[in-house]
A and B are shown apart, each in its own frame.
Chain A
Amino acid sequence: MRQIRLGAGAVALIALVAVPMVTDSFATTLVTRGMTWGLLGLAVWFLLRISNLPSFGHAAFFGVAAYSAGLAVTEWQITNLFVTLALSVLLTCLVAVPIALVTTRLSGIAFLLVTLAFAEMLRSLALRWRAVGGSDGLVGVTRPDTWPLPLSLATPSHFYYVVLAVLLICAVLLVVVIGSPFGGVLAGLRESEPRMSALGYNPMFYRVAAFVLSAALAGVAGVMQTYLDRFANPEDLGALVSARGLLIAVIAGASLWAVPVTAIALTIVEDLLSTQTTHWMGLIGVIYIVVSLLPNTSTQVADLRRLVRRRIARRNPPEPRVADQKESV
């Protein structure tokens, strides 16, 4: 199973690396967009799957970072991608902390609605704030340089590879975090907060930390989207962005690596349908509903594996251990 997974991952990676080489700049940009949605999906997925917190407000962090990245270039004269990225993510985290302190006390539907409310408050602010363009959005954003890397973000393929690298780094970072002692504590809190509290863990600290990490990832997505479109607007903070992140996370199921794949696939399907019919949004809605209602494939595969193992164990019971034999004697 591990080999199959590694093989599939290698094929997917080779395919992603090959995209700019075998397609035109339009398709390259389309997949770049899919990858930025993949970053947002990873952010929401992490919170949903690891902390059992369904956020419907990650547009708040996506949008704050989008505006920060735009302002960094247009107003603050910062021209380096890595500096603007770091600054935008930092600002996003600063916004995320107070929101996390309020929302992580909640769970389920209450959490979902309050995160939505925060995002809508920020969207309303962006709509009325003339200094950031109000309802017209932030225009005149240029793509920054990538020093010390010899790349030009004006070239679609270069931009593509930067986003791909960022996506891979973020995904690997999540894999590391999930497999760490910190990830173990988050999994424990997802299972039973009173038990973890009785073991001396401060639930609030860990939930806030997970929330801020997730917000930072959404911020990375917002930065990439702004430089992709050379534009930030209040809709970056809107419910449709949050819904997209949540839907990607739900459709992807239990697998982290399915998140970027789902995001890219949905982006391509959206584009294909939009060229075929004016009712494409309705069709996308139907696809979302049908796919979300399908049983989770990765969970089913895991269940099947467990079932097979149990059957095998039942047919071949383990040899009694020496210690057991001594005891029975």
Chain B
Amino acid sequence: MTAALALENISKRIGGIHINDDVTIRMQPGERRALIGPNGAGKTTLLNMAAGLLAPTSGRVFMSGTDVTRLPPYRRARRGMARTFQITNLLPGLTVAENLALSVQSESPQRANPLRRWGSLREVWDRVDELLAQAKLTDVRDVRVSSLPYGQQRKLEIIVAVARPCSVILLDEPGAGLSSADAEEILTLVFGLGPELTVMFIDHDIELAFRLATHVTVLHLGQVVADGTPDEVRAGDILDEIYLGAHGA
């Protein structure tokens, strides 16, 4: 089966430092892969290369068999890639509904119409209201995002990311700053979006990652040191070694 997302021999070097070194990850459609590892392991850099925000020094990125290594983020998004950021990245000066509308309308032929009233895109705003109701955010529909509590911002970021058609979603620490229960709620929300949705997520809550992921990749010093199902990875000593500092000693 063609991988929904494949990172082939990805390396990233900045100056003399290897951020990532020869990383290969192949994700099948519907796979939920947790990317774990201590700080500085190169997880976010790898995610940014998958999303097109950073160019790899060497290696290739494929989406459903198509080489997208040279495509900018917006073209990967049009091919069905969605993402969230480590630090919440919404549009703080716009309202909750406007943030969602920009996601929903991104596939509409009217998205760049300069002469039509924005509010007249009925199908867009109806969908926005539907999504807000599903996420129980209707009460804050017209609130500026900068005024939202942090938890609601994290939740909104996920909904904004998946409000447009996507087959692959990259989540960079979706539970950062949230309690384990809230983080689990957010991840469960994403996993409930459909069995075909391929999810790669970074999380520092190891227990949560092992419980929710179908596959786990452990990164350490930019390299893959373990890869497999949660049970396979847990069976080895690698986690104790890298988190307790014994690895490579």
The reply to whether B82 and A198 contact each other, CB–CB distance below 8 Å, is yes
Stretch touching chain B among A68-76, A188-196, A214-222, A239-247: A188-196
The reply to whether B160 and A180 contact each other, CB–CB distance below 8 Å, is no
> How far is B163's CA from A198's CA once the two chains are assembled, in angstroms?
12
Pick the contact of B73 from A177, A181, A194 — CB < 8 Å?
Answer: A194
Binary CB contact string for chain B from 89 to 114 against chain A (1 if under 8 A, 0 otherwise) = 11111100010011101111011111
With A181-B121, A202-B74 known as contacts, the answer to whether A194 contacts B91 (CB < 8 A) is: no
Among B72, B116, B118, the one with the most A-chain Cβ atoms within 10 Å of its Cβ is: B118
The reply to whether B78 and A183 contact each other, CB–CB distance below 8 Å, is no
Find chain B residues with CB under 8 A from A185 CB. Answer: 102, 111-112
The reply to whether A197 and B98 contact each other, CB–CB distance below 8 Å, is no
Find chain A residues with CB under 8 A from B112 CB. Answer: 181-182, 185, 205-206, 209
Find chain B residues with CB under 8 A from A195 CB. Answer: 85, 89-91, 160
Apart from the given pairs A192-B91, A194-B85, 12 other A-B contacts in the complex at a CB distance below 8 Å: A176-B115, A177-B115, A179-B118, A181-B113, A181-B121, A187-B91, A192-B89, A197-B73, A197-B74, A199-B106, A199-B160, A201-B106
Binary CB contact string for chain A from 138 to 181 against chain B (1 if under 8 A, 0 otherwise) = 00000000000000000000000000000000000000110111
* Cross-chain pair count, CB within 8 angstroms: 107
**Which single residue of chain B is at the shortest CB-CB distance from A184?**
B118
Find chain A residues with CB under 8 A from B92 CB. Answer: 191-192
The reply to whether A182 and B102 contact each other, CB–CB distance below 8 Å, is no
Find chain A residues with CB under 8 A from B115 CB. Answer: 176-177, 180
Q: Smallest CB–CB gap between B7 and chain A, Å?
A: 18
With A176-B115, A198-B73 known as contacts, the answer to whether A181 contacts B91 (CB < 8 A) is: no
- Top 10 nearest A-B pairs (CB, nearest first) are A191-B91, A200-B77, A182-B114, A197-B73, A200-B106, A197-B74, A200-B78, A177-B114, A195-B89, A199-B106
With A182-B113, A183-B118 known as contacts, the answer to whether A199 contacts B77 (CB < 8 A) is: yes
> How far is B103's CA from A65's CA once the two chains are assembled, in angstroms?
38
Binding site for A on B (CB under 8 A): 51, 53, 72-75, 77-78, 82-83, 85, 89-94, 98, 101-103, 105-108, 110-119, 121, 139, 160-161, 164
Find chain A residues with CB under 8 A from B108 CB. Answer: 181
A282 proximal to B (CB < 8 A): no
> How far is B78's CA from A318's CA once the two chains are assembled, in angstroms?
40
The reply to whether A194 and B114 contact each other, CB–CB distance below 8 Å, is no
Binding site for B on A (CB under 8 A): 176-177, 179-185, 187-188, 190-192, 194-203, 205-206, 209, 213, 318, 321
Q: What would be 14 A-B contacts, judged by CB atoms less than 8 Å apart?
A: A176-B115, A176-B117, A184-B98, A185-B111, A187-B98, A194-B53, A194-B73, A195-B89, A196-B74, A199-B106, A201-B74, A201-B102, A202-B74, A206-B112
What's the dominant secondary structure at chain A's contact region?
helix
> How far is B106's CA from A195's CA once the two chains are assembled, in angstroms?
12
Find chain B residues with CB under 8 A from A177 CB. Answer: 114-115
The reply to whether B94 and A191 contact each other, CB–CB distance below 8 Å, is yes
Find chain B residues with CB under 8 A from A202 CB. Answer: 72, 74-75
Find chain B residues with CB under 8 A from A182 CB. Answer: 111-114
> How far is B90's CA from A199's CA once the two chains are assembled, in angstroms?
11
**Which single residue of chain A is at the shortest CB-CB distance from B72?**
A197
**Which single residue of chain A is at the shortest CB-CB distance from B51?**
A198
**Which single residue of chain B is at the shortest CB-CB distance from A189?**
B91
Pick the contact of B111 from A181, A192, A198, A203 — CB < 8 Å?
Answer: A181
Find chain A residues with CB under 8 A from B160 CB. Answer: 195, 199
> How far is B107's CA from A193's CA once the two chains are assembled, in angstroms?
18
> How far is B85's CA from A268's CA once the two chains are assembled, in angstroms?
51
The reply to whether B139 and A181 contact each other, CB–CB distance below 8 Å, is no
The reply to whether A318 and B77 contact each other, CB–CB distance below 8 Å, is no
Find chain A residues with CB under 8 A from B161 CB. Answer: 198
The reply to whether B94 and A200 contact each other, CB–CB distance below 8 Å, is no
Q: Smallest CB–CB gap between A317 and chain B, Å?
A: 11
Among B73, B82, B98, B119, the one with the most A-chain Cβ atoms within 10 Å of its Cβ is: B73
> How far is B92's CA from A192's CA once the two chains are assembled, in angstroms?
9
Q: Smallest CB–CB gap between B229 and chain A, Å?
A: 29
With A194-B89, A197-B74, A199-B160 known as contacts, the answer to whether A188 contacts B102 (CB < 8 A) is: yes
The reply to whether A187 and B93 contact each other, CB–CB distance below 8 Å, is yes
Find chain B residues with CB under 8 A from A180 CB. Answer: 113-118
Q: Smallest CB–CB gap between A254 and chain B, Å?
A: 11
> How far is B90's CA from A206's CA once the two chains are assembled, in angstroms?
18
> How far is B105's CA from A203's CA once the two chains are assembled, in angstroms?
15
> How far is B75's CA from A269's CA once the two chains are assembled, in angstroms?
51
Find chain A residues with CB under 8 A from B111 CB. Answer: 181-182, 185, 201
